[in-house]
Structure 1
Amino acid sequence: MWPLAMATRIVIQLLLCAALCCLPSPHAHGLNNGLGLTPPMGWNSWNFFGCKISEQLIQEMADALVTSGLADIGYTYVNIDDCWASHRDNEGNLVADKKSFPSGIKFLADKIHAKGLKIGIYSDAGILTCQRRPGSLYHELQDAQIFASWDIDYLKYDNCFNLGIQPQNRYPSMAVALNKTNRPIYFSICEWGQNDPAKWAGEIGNSWRTTDDIKDKWQSIVTIADINNQWAAYAGPGAWNDPDMLEVGNGGMTFNEYRAHFSIWCLMKAPLLIGCDVRNMTSETFEILSNVEAIAVNQDILGVQGSKVSKQGSGECLEVWAGPLSGSRVAVALWNRCSYGNNITASWGDVGIVSDSPMIVRDLWEHRFLSGSFIGNLTMYVESHDCKLLIFIPEEQKLYYGEQ
C-alpha cells in the first residue's frame, strides 16, 4: 500500500502549488445546487450487476469502498442504477421492489450516510425506465420530492420510453423539480448524446452523457473517447461531459488497456464512477482506481477538459492528449492505440507550452519525476494499447515538489 501513501503526499504538494499560485475559486454554471465543481467520484451498480441488485449488495459495496480506502480518496457516491423500483402506489409514489429492497430506500440511504458516503438513485425522463420500471415523465415534482425525503444525493436520469418528446422539453422539468426540493441533488443527464446535450444541458444538469453505453471492450473505449473529445469546450466546473462509467476491473480488457481507459477519463474530466465488484477487485484493479496522482488531474480546480492535440505514425494511432491544470501545469497523455509499441512525441506547441520553456515532468503511473528538464518536446516509448500520463511543470516550480 506504500505507493498510495506516497501519491497522497504528491496530491498535497499539488494543492500547495495551486494555493501558492493564488487561483480564483470556480463557480458552478450548471443546475442551481452548487454541486459538481469537480467531476463526481463513486460507484454504480449497472456495469457489473445490471438488474441483480439488492439492499444487501449496495451496503456491501459501500463497505468495500470504505475498507479498501477508495472512499478516503474521493469515491463517495454509491449509486443504484435501474431495477430498484417496482411500481407506483395509489398516491402515485414510487415504491421500491420489496424483494430486493425490503427495508426501503430511506433505510438504505441512512445506512450509506452513516458510513460517511452519499447515495444515488436512478430514474428516467420517460414513462418507463430502460428495464420497464416506472419512469418519471409527468411525475417530476412528485418523484423529486420523494427522492429528497429519502435524502438522495445523486440522480441518474435516463432516456428510454420518452414518447418522442425532445429532451430539451423533458429534462428541464426534473431540474426545476430538484431545485424546488431545496436539497442539493447531483443531476446526471443520461440522454446518450443523441441531441448534442453539451450544447444545452449545461444550464440543466451537472453532467450529461455524450455517447451510447460503454462496453468492456477496447474499441468501445476508443470510440467513446473520440466522441466525447469533440465537446471538450463545453465542460467546466459544475457541468461535465460524461463518457459513461468506468469498466476498469470487469475482465474484458488487459491491464494496459484499463490503465489507458482510466488515464484518458481522468484527463477528460469525466465522472469517475467505478463499475466493477469492489468486494473482489484484484490488486491491479485497485492500483489503477487508487492512483491519486491521476485522480488529482481529474479533480483539478481549474476544471478544463483535456483533449486530443496530435496524431502520429503511419496509421495515426499514436496520439497526444493534453489539457491545462492549475499552477501553470499541463497534463499530457501519450496514448498508443496501435497494435505495436512505439515512441510518441509531445511537442510544446501542441500541448500549449511556450516553445523555449524548460519543464520538469512527473510520470503519474511510475510515481516519479523523469531525470532532468525538457525544452521543446518530450519523446517516450509506449507499449501497445497503453498510455503514459504525465504532468509538465515549469522548472521554476520544482522546489514545490521537493526537487532540488
Structure 2
Amino acid sequence: MYPAPSLHAWHMAHGTRHMTHGTWHVACGTWHMAHGGTWHMACGTSSMIRIADLNNKWAKYAKPGGWNDPDMLQVGNGGMRESEYRVHFSLWAIMKAPLLIGCDLSRVSNATLRILGNDEVIAVNQDRLGVQARKVQVSEDSLIEVWSGPLSEGRWVVALVNRSPISAKVTARWKAIGLNPVQPMYARDLWKKATMDKVISGELSIRVPSHDVRLFLIWPATETSSS
C-alpha cells in the first residue's frame, strides 16, 4: 500500500525547508495547508467564474506563506473577450492567487499585455498584509457582486463585478465592506489609473459594463497618498 499523499507532502516540505534556494509546493486538499505553498481549488476545465466562487469559500485558509490556488491564468488564451480577461485578472489578483501566466506572450495582443502588466493591480496581489478578498455583496439574481479585502496601511481593495448581459450600476457599501459608514474615503480606479476627484462617504456607486469589472483602491481621506 502506498503512503498517504499527506505523508509525501510532509516529507517533501520538511526535506526542502533548509535548502538555500526557495521552493514552492503545490497540491490539492486541506491537508496540504499545514505544509505551505499553494493548493489547487479546481481543475482547469471549470469556468473562470465558477473557480472564483469556489475560491471564495476557502478564503479563511489563505495567509502569507500559503495561498488558495485557482489555477493558471487564462488571460490571452482565447474564449473570453477583453473585459472578461479584466475580470479574470482582477479576481485572481485580489484573491492573492499566484499569478501564473498561461498564454504565449510572443503571440498575445497589446490589450492582453496591458492587463497582465498592470503594476497597480499586481501591487494589490503582492500586498504584504496577504489577506484574500472576499465576496461581500451579491444581488438577488447573483449577477452583481462586490468583492473586498483589507490591504496594508489602512487601505482596502474593492471590485465591482457585473456578470449580467447588460450594464448595471454596482454599489459597494462601507458597512458591507467592514468600514465605518460615515468614513470619507479617497478612491483610485486601478484599471484607469486615475484617482477620483472627490471624497466619497458611505458607498461607492459606479456603472459597470456587461461582463466587466471596476477595481478600486480606497483609503481614508485623512491620508494623502495611496502608496
In the superposition, the TM-score normalised over structure 1's length comes to: 0.54
Q: Which residue in 2 is equivalent to 1:355? A: 181
- Give the structure with the larger helix fraction: 1
CA distance in 1, matches of 2:12, 2:45: 25
User: For structure 1, which segment, 261-270 or 170-179, has the greater mean C-alpha deviation from structure 2 after superposition?
Assistant: 170-179
- Asked whether 1:236 is paired with 2:63, we answer yes
Q: Does 1:345 align with 2:161?
A: no
Say if 2:211 is the partner of 1:385: yes
The question of 1:262 aligning with 2:93 is answered no
2:15 to 177, 201, 204: 177
- Root-mean-square deviation over aligned CA pairs: 1.7
Structure with greater strand percent: 2
Question: By how many angstroms is 1:401 displaced?
Answer: 4.9
Aligned pairs for 1:306-385 (under 5 A) are 306-312=133-139, 314-385=140-211
- AA matched with 1:346: A
Partner of 1:388, secondary structure, is strand
Q: Distance in 2 between matches of 1:223 and 1:288?
A: 21
3-state DSSP of counterpart to 1:321: strand
Using a 3 Å threshold, how does the CA distance of structure 1 residues 292 and 204 change in structure 2: closer, same or farther?
Answer: same
| Separation in structure 1 between the aligned mates of residue 103 and residue 208 of structure 2, nearest angstrom | 26
Structure 1: gaps (5+ residues): 1-162
User: Which amino acid in the other structure matches residue 365 of structure 1?
Assistant: W
| Mapped partners of 1:316, 1:240: distance in 2 | 26
User: What residue in structure 1 maps to residue 6 of structure 2?
Assistant: 168
Amino acid at match of 2:152: S
For residues 356 and 230 of structure 1, the distance between their equivalents in structure 2, rounded to whole angstroms, comes to 29
Distance 2:187 2:100 in 1: 28
**Cα deviation, residue 251, structure 1:** 1.2
Instruction: Please name the residue that 1:296 is paired with.
Output: 123
Q: Which runs of 5+ in 2 are unaligned?
A: none
* Partner SS, residue 208 of structure 1: strand
Secondary structure in 2 matching 1:253: coil
Identity across matched positions, percent: 42
TM-score, normalization: structure 2? 0.94
How far, CA to CA, are the matches of 2:210 and 2:8 in structure 1?
A: 43
User: Are the counterparts in 2 of residues 171 and 189 from structure 1 also a CA contact under 8 Å?
Assistant: no
- 1:296-334 CA-to-partner distances (Å, cap 9, x unmatched) read 11000111010100102x412100000001111110000
Q: Which runs of 4+ in 1 moved over 6 A?
A: none
Cα distance in 1, alignment partners of residues 4 and 54 from structure 2 = 21
Write the distance in 2 (CA, Å) between the matches of 1:174 and 1:372.
Answer: 53
- Number of residue pairs the alignment of both structures matches: 227
